[in-house]
Chains A and B, each alone.
Chain A
Amino acid sequence: MAVLVVAEHDNASVKDATNKTITAALALSSDVDVLVAGLGAGAAAASAAGIAGVRKVLHAEGDAFDQGVAEAVEGLVVPLMANYDAVLFAATATGKNAAPRIAAALDVSPISEIQEVVNATTFVRPIYAGNALETIETSDAKKVITVRTTAFAAAGAGGSAAVETVTAGAPSAAVTFKGAEIVKSDRPELAGAKRVVSGGRAMGSADEFHNVIEPLADKLGAAVGASRAAVDAGYAPNDYQVGQTGKVVAPELYVAVGISGAIQHLAGMKDSKVIVAINKDADAPIFAIADYGLVADYKSAVPELMGELAKAGL
């Protein structure tokens, strides 16, 4: 059985989410190839070839691949599937956008956000915002899968796969890329960060979020997250949202400040290794899952914590 992993990359190297997807692919089969499609993505293809366990790298160049346009990815991947039994994407915005299109084109049922490979046809995936897990078996000859990357370790270095060039068909005329606004940040990417500091509605304003949450995150070298309530209230951009309707994270340290712990938020962070909650309401549900809870007003607790972290040499 041969498996294709569609890589996400920044032209220079493949993203951590792809290394994790490769680990899930290796649980299906030892014959794992990686597709790197982009514009000027030669270095990323070379980096994919260096990942342990990768058999071969397919490298495709094209304007539309630069923006991850789903129609272009479909046009590239569907013909390649003649040689593969499964295709895996990371369950990111890009992966979720493209994978179901490919499944429909192949007439198969996609399998979304797997968190465990039981065997080559059976997978575990969260439903109802992670409040239940379903174990499903597919009868489709070809499988189209997205992978919840927080559930898998990243495949490491040590490979020396060959890179093969594949050619892509003409891009779809029906879609035109008009532009992107990518937030520039020196902070780590939320989805793969080792530490995350999140703020909730208790912040009360965008300024307060900026003045309280961001310095603490920078002190810890952490990514910044937010609850849906804080996003809905306009205190933080949607890209920060952790939860069922936002990003799922599983860092080593998750600090929730002024977050009550709605089910929908817990679904996005409950697999973190160590959870810290700071909330003035001692009955907040977040304390039921926090390893360390501090019942205090964040207005005094966060500056104190900053001071203690400074004393500890951070």
Chain B
Amino acid sequence: MKVLVPVKRVIDYNVKVRVKPDQTGVDLANVKMSMNPFCEIAVEEAVRLKEKGVATEIVAVSIGPQQAQETIRTALAMGADRGILIQTDDDLEPLAVAKLLKAVIGEEAPELVLMGKQAIDGDNNATGQMMAALLGWPQATFASKVEVADGKATVTREIDGGLQTLEVALPAIVTADLRLNEPRYASLPNIMKAKKKPIDVKSTSDYGVDVSPRLKVLKVTEPPKRAGGIKVESAEQLVGKLKEAGVL
């Protein structure tokens, strides 16, 4: 079974985000970039499926600037077999990304797409669901457990108030939530091996897909800052203050 894993290069999750003074966006110059944490979890899950003998080939796909090759290399070092980079300097919306990935899926014909539930830059939480709709495939989002057998995936999902289990017929889209697994660190030998694995570089025009934006960013601003309050000396004083504030 072939598994396709889309991965995104984003600002590292430990970096403090700074809004540009001209309000055009977030300052990404000289900032550490990494693989989106949810994408890392998806890669890990794909590699575990391969280790179990369920998956036979893992293809990592990224859409982004030339440097997104590094993100694909990270996936290859974790255990993916080959990569595809659709190179673009434009910041594409989920709709355009979903259309491009649909085109890649048309060529690659994977039986399972494993991907992160959201990227931590745009926080849209949309691309997986959109791909599923465009392909007419079933989806199982926010997965905390995935089992694949007999042409089906049984997926436990994180929902409000608890967990839900769905069985989806393959091919299907599964998006990873935090608790699905703990991604491995790539070993040095595997990092060296990953350098020899192939990455196919394409451009958005290779797929004949309309990627024009539908949304215009008018401005990006800092959220209002919350002023700090006071320190209280004791639980007694705390309860007094909370009564004064009218919240007890």
Contacts and interface: CB of A to CB of B under 8 A. Distances in A.
Interface of A: 67-71, 74, 92-94, 96-105, 107-113, 122, 126-140, 172-183, 189, 191, 195, 228, 231-232, 238-239, 244-245, 252-253, 263-264, 270, 273-276, 287-295, 301, 304-305, 307-309, 311-312, 314
Contacts of B17: 128-129, 131-132
A10 to B, nearest CB: 10
A183 B130 CA distance: 30
A94 B235 contact: no
Interface of B: 11, 13, 16-17, 19, 26, 93-95, 98, 120-134, 137-142, 144, 154, 157-169, 172, 177-179, 213-223, 226, 228-232, 234-236, 238-239, 241-243, 245, 247-248
Contact of A304 (B19, B133, B234): B234
A136 B215 contact: yes
A138 B214 CA distance: 6
B93 A112 contact: no
A128 B229 contact: no
Contacts of B172: 174
Given A128-B121, A180-B162, 10 more contacts: A70-B141, A98-B129, A100-B94, A131-B16, A132-B221, A132-B222, A175-B166, A175-B169, A252-B247, A293-B232
A174 B129 CA distance: 15
Given A239-B161, A274-B245, A312-B239, A100 B219 contact: no
Contact of B129 (A69, A101, A111, A173): A101
Of the candidates B26, B122, B164, B228, the one having the most CB atoms from chain A within 10 angstroms of its own CB is B164
Contact of A238 (B26, B94, B179, B230): B179
Contact of A104 (B134, B167, B218, B248): B134
Nearest to A115: B223
A133 to B, nearest CB: 5
Contacts of A239: 158, 160-162
B206 to A, nearest CB: 21
Contact of A294 (B11, B130, B235): B235
Given A174-B137, A253-B247, A181 B162 contact: yes
